[in-house]
Amino acid sequence: MSAQVRIFGTVTSTYTRIVQIACEEAGLTHETIATAARSPANRHPFGKVPVVEIDGLELIESVAIAHYIDNAHNDGALQPDDPASLAVSDKWIALANNYLFPLFENGLVMPWIMHRIGGFPLDTEAIDRALPQISLTLGYVEAQLADDGAWTTAGFTLADVFLYPVLRGLQLTPQGEMGIAQCDHLSAWLSRCEKRPSIAATRWESEP
How many residues bind ligand GSH (CB under 6 A)? The answer is 12
Question: Which regions of the chain does DSSP assign to beta strands (E)?
Answer: 5-9, 30-34, 51-54, 57-60
Contacts 24+ apart (CB under 8 A), 60-63: 62/15, 62/18, 62/19, 62/97, 62/162, 63/93, 63/97
For residues 130 and 65, the answer to whether their CB atoms sit within 8 Å is no
Cα-Cα-Cα-Cα dihedral sign, residues 165, 171, 176, 181: positive
Least distance in Å: CB of 101 to ligand GSH?
Answer: 7
Q: N- to C-terminal Cα distance for the chain?
A: 31
Answer for which of 20, 35, 62, 137 binds ligand GSH (CB under 6 A) is 62
Residue of 4, 6, 33, 61 that binds ligand GSH (CB under 6 A): 61
Segment lying near ligand GSH (by CB under 6 A), choices 9-17, 26-34, 69-77, 187-195: 9-17
Q: Taking contact as CB under 6 A, which single stretch among the options 7-15, 69-77, 116-124, 130-138 is the one that binds ligand GSH?
A: 7-15
Taking the complex as a whole, the smallest distance from the CB of residue 184 to ligand GSH amounts, in Å, to 28
- Which C-beta is closer to ligand GSH: that of 19 or that of 180? 19
- Judged by CB under 6 A, which of 5, 7, 8, 13 binds ligand GSH? 13
User: Where do contacts with ligand GSH occur on this chain (CB under 6 A)?
Assistant: 10, 13-15, 37-38, 47-49, 61-63
